[in-house]
Amino acid sequence: MLIVQKFGGSSVADAARVANVAKLVTDTYKKGNSVVVVVSAQGDTTDDLIEKAHEINPRGSKREMDMLLAAGEQISIALLAMAIEKIGCPVVSLLGWQAGFRTNSSYGDARIKRIDTERVLAELDKNTIVIVTGFQGLNKYEDITTLGRGGSDTSAVALAAVLHADLCQIYTDVDGVYTADPRHVKGARKLEEITYDEMLELATLGAQVLHNRSVEMAKRYGVNLEVLSSFSGKPGTKVKEVAKTMEKLHVSGVACDKNVARVAVVGLADEPGIAFKIFSLLAKERINVDLILQSIGRNNTKDISFTVSIQDVERCKQLLDEHRDFLQFDHVDVNDKIAKVSIVGAGMVHNPGVAAKMFEALYNAGINISMISTSEIKVSVLVDINEADRAVQVIHDRFFHEFGGN
């Protein structure tokens, strides 16, 4: 079998953990498998490098930031290769560009265009363990680029896809995908299996187990994914097209995203084309919009509210204010003291009343809802940020305690 294994920063944070990862990798190799390993920067290395950059120049160019941040993964792969050498197995470490990662030129958030696999395949043919830096590649100008948040997950899944790997294992500091974050929610349970669609929604909605780009890619190329812990040695959660538990569970998980702000554009003209004008303006500036709510028009005016990430809220407000005459609104109201709490489940579409149970749980806890959004497999609500953790707990209790899992 060809297995791609990805280890996050916490898995290689110090010498003891690097040695632990080396053992996991070599144990897999000794079972007769070909092994490709993707590694993130150690522990808080990336944050430390960002801090160093800000000491020198708070507004350093994205190109130079990529050059700097790529150093973190280079350290990890060399140290892990040395640990594997010590065990006595053949190993080679490769930077992203050496492993054939070619990207576009969006520094800081590059997209993979292709992977030239010749070097990796040549090393595998020699029965060598191949260790690759996650999170980085090379653009057409031969500049180093980084793939943005969660880039190492994406690197691992992309390699698994082009190499037609039998399995892609994502090792983290939790031993699988849970019904909620086990570090914050009492009674959170590990799922044996989850569908790509459910995992994609949970990843997008704030669950930090897998990055949404990697799940999207796994679904597109049918990559066999497993999420497991590098510390516990227990079986993890399998991510696949159809999960065994799908019919049984109406809800697979509860997620919380505190990185959101609500923007309300108040006093707009109640006429066709207003929403188009606002959202095309934001799209041009690459500002992602999530929940959208339009009020019923009164006195020939209406309000449009929507959510954006905290990072984009200042730019969004500035952009709207700059185009006030064009859009003709009264004022913009911003609330960044909110959180988005969501339930996800492929079984929801065939089970009426799931949203009502969620709203009932919040009502019983005295938690107010300011916005609601639904799709076939998710329901999201906005609540006050100070109530977010309690909201997740009461919703989780409603679905996973009272009914033993719905």
Please report which confidence band the pLDDT of residue 246 belongs to, taking 50, 70 and 90 as the band edges: very low
Q: How far is CA 151 from CA 8, 109, 145, 168, 174, in A?
A: 11, 9, 11, 15, 19
**CA atoms of 291 and 81, how far apart (whole Å):** 45
Please report which confidence band the pLDDT of residue 244 belongs to, taking 50, 70 and 90 as the band edges: low
pLDDT in tens, 66-92: 999 999 999 999 999 999 999 999 999
**CA atoms of 377 and 340, how far apart (whole Å):** 16
Supply the pLDDT for residue 405.
47
Backbone angles phi, psi at 20, to 5 degrees: -65, -45
Please report which confidence band the pLDDT of residue 247 belongs to, taking 50, 70 and 90 as the band edges: very low
Backbone angles phi, psi at 17, to 5 degrees: -75, -35
Q: Is 158 exposed, middle or buried (0-12, 13-18, 19+ CB in 10 A)?
A: buried
Task: Assess contact for 305 and 371: CB atoms under 8 A.
Answer: yes
**CA atoms of 115 and 102, how far apart (whole Å):** 6
Q: Tokens representing 127?
A: 């029965």
Q: Is 315 exposed, middle or buried (0-12, 13-18, 19+ CB in 10 A)?
A: middle
Q: Tokens representing 41?
A: 């920067």
Query: In this model, does residue 222 exceed pLDDT 50?
Result: yes
Q: What is the pTM of this model?
A: 0.83
Query: In this model, does residue 213 exceed pLDDT 50?
Result: yes
**CA atoms of 182 and 355, how far apart (whole Å):** 23
pLDDT in tens, 11-28: 999 999 999 999 999 999
Across the range 106-111, mean pLDDT stands at: 94
Q: Lowest-confidence range among 31-45, 179-193, 316-330?
A: 179-193
Please report which confidence band the pLDDT of residue 262 belongs to, taking 50, 70 and 90 as the band edges: very high
Q: Is 404 exposed, middle or buried (0-12, 13-18, 19+ CB in 10 A)?
A: exposed
Across the range 201-210, mean pLDDT stands at: 78
DSSP H helix total and E strand total for the chain: 12, 20
Q: Which residues pair with 238 in a beta bridge?
A: 193, 226
Query: In this model, does residue 404 exceed pLDDT 60?
Result: no
Q: How far is CA 63 from CA 71, 143, 212, 312, 361, in A?
A: 13, 8, 24, 21, 48
Q: Tokens representing 389?
A: 């953790």
- b/e map of 250-288 (b: 16 or more CB within 10 Å)? bbbbbbbbeebbbbbbeebeeeeebeeebeebbeeeebe
User: Which domains does the chain possess?
Assistant: 2-173 (3.40.1160.10)
What percentage of the chain exceeds 90 in pLDDT?
A: 76
Which residue matches tokens 């086990």? 182
Alpha helices in 88-232 (DSSP H): 118-125, 151-162, 196-204, 212-221
Across the range 339-349, mean pLDDT stands at: 87
Average pLDDT across the chain, whole number: 92
Task: Assess contact for 238 and 193: CB atoms under 8 A.
Answer: yes
Measured at the alpha carbon of residue 289, what is the angle toward residues 318 and 321, in degrees to the nearest 5? 15
- b/e map of 135-152 (b: 16 or more CB within 10 Å)? bbbbbeeebbbbbbebbb
Q: Tokens representing 300?
A: 């020939």
Q: Which residues contact 218 (CB under 8 A, 6 or more apart)?
A: 157, 160, 161, 168, 196, 225, 239
Which residue matches tokens 């996050």? 8
Q: Which residues contact 406 (CB under 8 A, 6 or more apart)?
A: 248, 249, 250, 251, 345, 347, 399, 400
Query: In this model, does residue 149 exceed pLDDT 90?
Result: no
> Residues for the chain: how many in total?
406
Supply the pLDDT for residue 124.
98
Q: Lowest-confidence range among 184-188, 267-271, 337-341, 348-352?
A: 348-352
Q: Which residues contact 299 (CB under 8 A, 6 or more apart)?
A: none
How would you list the strands of the sheet with 338-344, edge to edge? 253-257, 338-344, 378-384, 371-374
Q: Is 380 exposed, middle or buried (0-12, 13-18, 19+ CB in 10 A)?
A: buried
Please report which confidence band the pLDDT of residue 233 belongs to, taking 50, 70 and 90 as the band edges: confident
Across the range 60-67, mean pLDDT stands at: 96
Query: In this model, does residue 117 exceed pLDDT 50?
Result: yes
- b/e map of 368-377 (b: 16 or more CB within 10 Å)? eeebebeeeb
Supply the pLDDT for residue 403.
44
Q: Tokens representing 248?
A: 């049984």
Please report which confidence band the pLDDT of residue 249 belongs to, taking 50, 70 and 90 as the band edges: low
